[in-house]
Amino acid sequence: MNDRPAKHSVTLNGHRTSVSLEPEFWAAFKAIAAGSGQAINSLAAAIDADRGDLGLASAIRLFILRHYRRREAPDSGSDNA
């Protein structure tokens, strides 16, 4: 995996900004947004509002990681250590 991050423009609360994500993360981010019926900008704004001191790109990567971890977690919750 040698793909370098690429800049993508998003609009957060009426202001354009760019976020650098690897193509795999951008594709996953778009898929999550589409699957939840949200626009990319809306999802990015929600992540931005909750990110605290974390950079936006890092916050998006962690959001994606947590999304897929939740999907793969067993329903019983027995392996949640």
pTM confidence score: 0.84
Question: What value does the mean pLDDT take over residues 6-20?
Answer: 95
Residue 9, token pair as written in the block: 């423009």
Expressed in angstroms, the distance from the first to the final Cα of the chain is 29
For residue 81, pLDDT beyond 60? no
Model confidence pLDDT, tens digit, residues 28-71: 999 999 999 999 999 999 999 999 999 999 999 999 999 999 98
